[in-house]
Amino acid sequence: MAVLLFVCAFVFLFFLLFFMFRINIYTFKKLDYEYFTFGYFGAFATINLLLYFGKDWYEEALKMNGDILNGILLMSFAVMLLIYILYVNIRTSSFLFGILITALQAAMYFPFTIVLFPGAIFIFGFFSQVSEYFEAKKRGRK
């Protein structure tokens, strides 16, 4: 069952990539602008992560009667970045198309953020060679 789930997720992400490329071809022909680029992915990944960690920080502070401002600030930075992207998309196209393409970008970049963020953490951990530090600690060296 896990293999089937993995294959379905891979096919779904491949379909999303194909759909993104088709949209880019269409918008480049019509508007001379590409809406699915690595820069947009970075911006939407930042928005998704700021919203997730901001909400988590806010709820944790509510449980402990702590300072909720940090979580609110993270979420407000994410909303400001989303509004800026919406402004850029509306400026490069019409009002309705700008709103629709921004919603489509948010919906299509969300699964890639979920898949690639843990992968990026794993890659950074692997290449940071943290294991050598822990092995030296086991043997008693500092």
Position 38 pLDDT exceeds 80: yes
The pTM score is 0.80
User: Could you tell me if residue 87 is inside a domain?
Assistant: yes
User: Could you tell me if residue 63 is inside a domain?
Assistant: yes
Coil/strand/helix, residue 140:
coil
Position 64 pLDDT exceeds 70: yes
Q: What pLDDT was estimated at residue 136?
A: 57
Share of the chain above pLDDT 70, in %: 90
The answer to whether 33 touches 88, Cβ cutoff 8 Å, is no
When divided into structural domains, the chain yields a total of 1
Torsion of CA 2, 116, 34, 26, to 10 degrees: 0
Computed over every residue of the chain, the mean pLDDT equals: 88
User: Could you tell me if residue 48 is inside a domain?
Assistant: yes
DSSP state of 67: -
User: Could you tell me if residue 74 is inside a domain?
Assistant: yes
Separation of alpha carbons 113 and 45, rounded Å: 5
Separation of alpha carbons 15 and 8, rounded Å: 10
**Amino acid letter, 19:** F
User: Could you tell me if residue 106 is inside a domain?
Assistant: yes
User: Could you tell me if residue 15 is inside a domain?
Assistant: no
User: Could you tell me if residue 113 is inside a domain?
Assistant: yes
Three state DSSP letters for 36-96: CCHHHHHHHHHHHHHHHHHHHHHHHHHHCCCCCHHHHHHHHHHHHHHHHHHHHHHHHCCHH
User: Could you tell me if residue 3 is inside a domain?
Assistant: no
**Boundaries of domain holding 134:** 41-138
Torsion of CA 11, 16, 19, 25, to 10 degrees: -120
pLDDT tens digits, residue range 75-132? 999 999 999 999 999 999 999 999 999 999 999 999 988 888 888 888 887 777 666 6
Relative orientation angle of helices 95-127 and 2-31, to the nearest 10 degrees: 130
Position 16 pLDDT exceeds 80: yes
